């Protein structure tokens, strides 16, 4: 090849390489404006327990990917950490009770309730055998957790709904679920507010009993809502819709496939597949219609909770639920999801 032809050949390749580089730059710029949905959707949950078969099923079955969403599930200790992650933008969404969300909204946090997973309250008050009923808790010690956290607020709600002044009961922070349970078994406290997964243990230990199921005393108390950061919704709307559609299908699949759900719970919690707590929680959630395959947002229940919090002095100001609730992503997800409506 002579010198002139070599020069032409080199110039052509330089041109091609420059065009390729320009294409890469343009693609990168475009992704900054429109391609945010390519980033993983960060979803936070409390470390899963007996309800794992419902909560983790979408990820297990690949339903998120089927709807074009890459979802990373982040497990944290509790609702406080989840709320902090949402507010800081470290999480795109989280599954938690509405109580810390009301508090965050009043402090100006830009969050939206966009759906639910298990809106039914699988919770209960437990006590020593000598406690006859809720009225007998007056003057006694009831173990909850930090003021304003779910165990504390639901205990107050159950007492008020039963006509008992919460101030007549000594509510004390007794630590985590496991810590509270051990305190009850050891006789350090008279009662506790805990997840329903402890119900089977009362059948094996005659020192303790179920004093009152939350689903009977305060059936309108909403449990797990899906709350999202506004920035994430604006930057990754398609991911939000795909995440919700996958979540819906995961809940639906778990409701229809008991053995798979129990196996997933066993794999997640390192418990036997026939663990009484896991089996009880799965069956309770299904029988009581606690899980929502359509991610419904119960406005009535959220209003009830806010009214209770205001009346009880837990919350000082009213949250604008019209601004806090956003049904649009759920409505789009319902068009994609293969679930019964």
Proportion of the chain above pLDDT 70, given as a percent: 89
- Quick one: which of 147, 152, 143, 97 has its CA closest to 120? 97
Q: Is the pTM of this model over 0.95?
A: no
- Quick one: which of 64, 329, 237, 81 has its CA closest to 73? 64
Q: Which architecture does CATH list for 37-120+222-336? A: 3-Layer(aba) Sandwich (3.40)
Asked if the domains at 37-120+222-336 and 123-217 fall in one CATH topology, the answer is yes
The 8-class DSSP code of residue 325 comes to: B
Number of Cβ within a 10 Å radius of residue 51: 29
Phi, psi dihedral angles at 33 (to 5 degrees): -95, -40
Q: Are 318 and 141 in contact (CB under 8 A)?
A: no
Number of Cβ within a 10 Å radius of residue 102: 23
Proportion of the chain above pLDDT 90, given as a percent: 84
Look up the CATH superfamily of 123-217.
Answer: Periplasmic binding protein-like II (3.40.190.10)
Q: Is 270 exposed, middle or buried (0-12, 13-18, 19+ CB in 10 A)?
A: exposed
**Each residue of 203-243: pLDDT tens digit?**
999 999 999 999 999 999 999 999 999 999 999 999 999 99
Query: Tell me, what's the pLDDT at 322?
Result: 96
Query: Tell me, what's the pLDDT at 80?
Result: 85
The rounded distance, in Å, linking the Cα atoms of 297 and 301 is 9
**In which residue ranges of the chain is pLDDT below 50?**
1-37
- Quick one: which of 152, 134, 135 has its CA closest to 143? 152
**Each residue of 62-72: pLDDT tens digit?**
999 999 999 99
Domain ranges of the chain: 37-120+222-336, 123-217
Query: Tell me, what's the pLDDT at 38?
Result: 61
Query: Tell me, what's the pLDDT at 340?
Result: 82
CA distances in angstroms from 263 to 152, 254, 290, listed in the order given: 32, 11, 20
Q: What three-state secondary structure class fits 326? A: coil
The rounded distance, in Å, linking the Cα atoms of 222 and 219 is 8
The rounded distance, in Å, linking the Cα atoms of 92 and 58 is 17
């Amino acid at each position: 090849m002579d010198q002139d032809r070599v020069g032409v050949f080199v110039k052509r390749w330089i041109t091609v390489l420059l065009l390729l580089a320009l294409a890469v730059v343009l693609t990168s710029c475009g992704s900054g404006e429109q391609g945010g949905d390519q980033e993983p959707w960060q979803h936070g949950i409390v470390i899963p327990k007996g309800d794992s078969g419902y909560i983790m099923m979408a990820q297990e079955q690949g339903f998120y990917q089927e709807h074009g969403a890459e979802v990373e599930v982040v497990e944290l200790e509790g609702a406080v950490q989840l709320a902090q992650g949402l507010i800081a933008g470290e999480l795109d969404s989280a599954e938690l009770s509405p109580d810390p969300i009301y508090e965050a909204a009043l402090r100006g946090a830009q969050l939206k309730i966009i759906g639910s997973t298990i809106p039914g309250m699988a919770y209960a008050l437990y006590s020593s055998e000598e406690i006859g009923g809720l009225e007998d808790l007056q003057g006694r010690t009831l173990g909850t957790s930090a003021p304003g956290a779910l165990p504390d607020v639901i205990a107050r709600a159950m007492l008020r709904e039963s006509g008992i002044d919460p101030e007549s009961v000594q509510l004390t922070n007794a630590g985590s679920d496991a810590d509270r349970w051990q305190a009850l078994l050891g006789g350090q406290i008279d009662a506790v507010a805990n997840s329903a997964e402890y119900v089977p243990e009362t059948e094996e230990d005659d020192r303790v009993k179920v004093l009152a199921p939350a689903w009977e005393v305060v059936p309108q108390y909403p449990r797990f809502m899906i709350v999202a950061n506004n920035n994430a919704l604006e930057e990754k709307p398609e991911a939000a819709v795909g995440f919700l559609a996958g979540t819906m299908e995961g809940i639906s699949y778990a409701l229809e496939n008991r053995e798979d759900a129990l196996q997933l719970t066993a794999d997640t919690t390192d418990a036997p597949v026939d663990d009484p707590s896991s089996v009880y929680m799965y069956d309770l959630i299904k029988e009581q219609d606690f899980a929502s395959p359509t991610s419904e947002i119960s406005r009535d229940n959220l209003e009830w909770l806010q009214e209770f919090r205001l009346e009880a002095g837990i919350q000082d100001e009213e949250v604008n639920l019209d601004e806090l609730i956003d049904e649009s992503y759920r409505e789009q997800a319902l068009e994609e999801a293969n679930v019964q409506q």
